[in-house]
Amino acid sequence: MSNIRTITAKEFRSYFDSPIAYIYITFFLVLSSWLFLRGFFLVGQASMRGFFGILPWLLLFFVPAVTMRLWAEEKKLGTIELLMTLPVKDHEVVLGKFLASFSFFFVTLALSFSVPLVISILGDPDPGPIWGGYIGAVLLGASFLAIGLFISSLTENQIIAFIIGITLTFVLFILGEEFVVYNAPRAVVPLLKHLGLGAHYDSIGRGVIDSRDVLYYLSVVVFFLYLNVRTVESRKWK
Amino acid sequence: MIEVRNISKHFGSTVAVQNVSFDVARGEVLGFLGPNGAGKSTTMRILTGYIPPSEGSARIAGHDLLEDSLAIRRRIGYLPENAPLYGDMEVVDFLRFVGTIRGIPPGEMRERIARMVKLCGLEKVVGRTIQHLSKGYRQRVGLAQAMIHDPDILILDEPTSGLDPNQIMEIRELIKELGREKTVILSTHILPEVSATCGRVLIVNEGMLVASGSPEELGAGLEGGGLLRVQVRAPSREVLDEKLRDAEFVTEHVFTKEADGDLHHLTIRGVDARGLGERIFRLVVENGWSLAELRLEGATLEDVFRRITRGEEA
């Protein structure tokens, strides 16, 4: 347990040891606020629907950028050898890295809370969808992070980790969208709808928090973290 | 302390290590000598639990390599090849990170780090970011992290690579010092390093163990090992002859030429090649003679190494 905490703390700090964290956070906040506020005044409604509509598409780029470094750099610089010969279990390292990237993501998302504050000054928004939207964003973000972290463990090239990360999260995100399932065989449609990362996000975003949706995201996280442990272990395959 | 039995490692069809067995006792400094790509690093990675062997087994500090990797890793300090470090961390933060994972209690951390900083000469760079350090300092930070938890076993992959001659001397002294209580395995392709620091040498080539022994044994195993060529100025050949016969560290001495006046030419072979020259020197001084030449002839570890790894005739 304490190993996980140590690794989380170290990885979290290393975001802020370089300018990367500040660049990410600025990029994320400026882009999300700008894209949202552009339409906000035209619609003239005190609601964050627009914000949470844009958010997944931003996370698609933002999250792989946050996770791409976590394993790829260790492999490239050889520090993975140092790390994995310390008395730590593979899953502790995977969890530590995940929690660090999650904390960083959480901080960034929390900073965007200025948006609902401004809206509640301007008008009287319904708090349900806002909280729902944030909970959905946290869960969706966690899934993206687990996927991005897993992809990072497959390569020592950060750019490749970034591109593949975007691609995979994109594919999983649109899996349940209407235009994807439209041409799919009828038998797999419910499955695709269930597996798609996007559909669950939409239902949570309406302010209806269904335990099945939460469970779905948690299982996506667990599944990709498990794959990650396996790839880290793969150096031990004979 | 370390028992390695028939370890092999192949990556696909390439064989990196082939059927290697050896033992290392507590307080022994073992040198792994071999050309680049001989399997030194792979063997070390296996011992540190980074990768498992394809075949074979090993026991380290009483624990089985495959079943109790975590317990072994706790007792080992490891410096991987090229000292990979987290470049974006400050030296002190990095040492604290490793120390925390190594289970050093927070109360002792400050003192431990301070000791490592002193031991490895890091005073000037503790607050610096690792990526801005010179190769020599990085190497020393790598050593510091390997020793921070005061491990019984140190495994150092090319510990002196990238250091300047003064630093090399310092690190060698440090390793010798550590070798008194700890078990040290180090790898190198630099020959003088082994003679300078190791009690025992394993020469590896193409994944196989091709020779082992103390640096002297390996040198003496060849024709001409430990032979001294000496020119002494002494009043009489008979006295010189007698004194050398009486000296218990001399096994054989031969007058190679007729004396030039009072200058005598000899070759001397000793029980122990190490320190022979010094003993001869002392003998000469004690008798009030003078030494015109003292030269070690014949096989050094370099010859052994070259011959074994290239299959050359001497």
| Cβ separation B49–A85 shorter than 8 A | yes
Band the pLDDT of B33: cuts 50, 70, 90. Answer: confident
Q: Which residues contact B173 (CB under 8 A, 6 or more apart)?
A: none
Q: Are A55 and A137 in contact (CB under 8 A)?
A: yes
Number of domain units in chain B: 2
Nearest to residue B282, comparing CAs of B291, B273, B274?
A: B291
* Any domain includes B306: no
Nearest to residue A105, comparing CAs of A141, A130, A58?
A: A141
* pLDDT above 60 (res A148): yes
Question: Using CA atoms, how far apart are residues B160 and B168, in angstroms rounded to an integer?
Answer: 6
What share of chain B has pLDDT > 90, as a percent? 39
What's the pLDDT score for residue A161? 96
Does one domain contain both B21 and B53?
Answer: yes
* Any domain includes B246: yes
Does one domain contain both B192 and B250?
Answer: no
Nearest to residue B257, comparing CAs of B283, B232, B278?
A: B232
Does one domain contain both B167 and B282?
Answer: no
Give A-chain residues touching B86 at CB under 8 angstroms.
10, 14, 79
Q: Given strand B250-255, what is the order of strands in its sheet? A: B250-255, B263-270, B227-233, B290-297
10 Å Cβ neighbour count for A120? 13
| Cβ separation B84–A18 shorter than 8 A | no
Does one domain contain both B71 and B210?
Answer: yes
Does one domain contain both B13 and B82?
Answer: yes
* Any domain includes B311: no
Q: Are B31 and B197 in contact (CB under 8 A)?
A: yes
Structure tokens at A7: 């690794």
**Three-class secondary structure of residue B273 per DSSP:** coil
The residue-averaged pLDDT of B144-149 equals: 94
Does one domain contain both B165 and B204?
Answer: yes
* Any domain includes B98: yes
Q: Which residues of B touch A (CB under 8 A)?
A: 45, 48-52, 54, 70, 73-74, 76, 78, 80-82, 84-89, 93, 97-98, 100-103, 129, 145
With CA atoms as reference, the chain A residue closest to B94 would be A10
Does one domain contain both B143 and B239?
Answer: no
**Three-class secondary structure of residue B212 per DSSP:** strand
Does one domain contain both B210 and B287?
Answer: no
CATH number of the domain encompassing residue B248: 3.30.70.3100
Closest partner CB to B73 (pick from A17, A18, A86): A86
* Any domain includes B134: yes
Q: Are B205 and B308 in contact (CB under 8 A)?
A: yes
Band the pLDDT of B13: cuts 50, 70, 90. Answer: confident
ipTM: 0.89
* pLDDT above 90 (res B184): yes
The residue-averaged pLDDT of A89-111 equals: 96
Question: Using CA atoms, how far apart are residues A40 and A53, in angstroms rounded to an integer?
Answer: 12
Maximum Cα interatomic distance, chain B, rounded to a whole number of Å = 74
Among candidate residues B220, B251, B282, the one where a domain is terminated: B220
The residue-averaged pLDDT of B79-96 equals: 93
Instruction: Provide the number of CB pairs (under 8 Å) joining chain A to chain B.
Output: 62
The residue-averaged pLDDT of B186-215 equals: 83
Q: Where are the beta strands (DSSP E) in chain B?
A: 2-11, 14-24, 29-33, 55-60, 63-64, 76-79, 153-157, 183-188, 200-205, 208-213, 227-233, 250-255, 263-270, 290-297
List, for residues A49-70, the tens digit of each pLDDT value.
888 988 999 999 999 999 999 9
- β-pairing verdict for B183-188 and B227-233: unpaired
Does one domain contain both B126 and B75?
Answer: yes
Q: Given strand B55-60, what is the order of strands in its sheet? A: B14-24, B2-11, B55-60, B63-64
Which stretch of B16-30, B117-131, B159-173 has the lowest confidence by average pLDDT?
Answer: B159-173
Band the pLDDT of B223: cuts 50, 70, 90. Answer: very low
| Cβ separation B97–A88 shorter than 8 A | no
Nearest to residue B21, comparing CAs of B35, B10, B6?
A: B6
* Residue for token pair 């959480």: A106
Residue range of the domain that includes B164: 2-220
* Any domain includes B304: no
Does one domain contain both B208 and B138?
Answer: yes
Which stretch of B74-78, B175-179, B301-305 has the lowest confidence by average pLDDT?
Answer: B301-305
Question: Using CA atoms, how far apart are residues A20 and A182, in angstroms rounded to an integer?
Answer: 41
Does one domain contain both B194 and B249?
Answer: no
The residue-averaged pLDDT of A86-97 equals: 95
* Any domain includes B105: yes
* Any domain includes B312: no
Pick among A17, A74, A79, A86 to test the B interface (most B CBs inside 10 A): A86
Band the pLDDT of B224: cuts 50, 70, 90. Answer: very low
What's the pLDDT score for residue B219? 63
Does one domain contain both B60 and B84?
Answer: yes
CATH number of the domain encompassing residue B214: 3.40.50.300
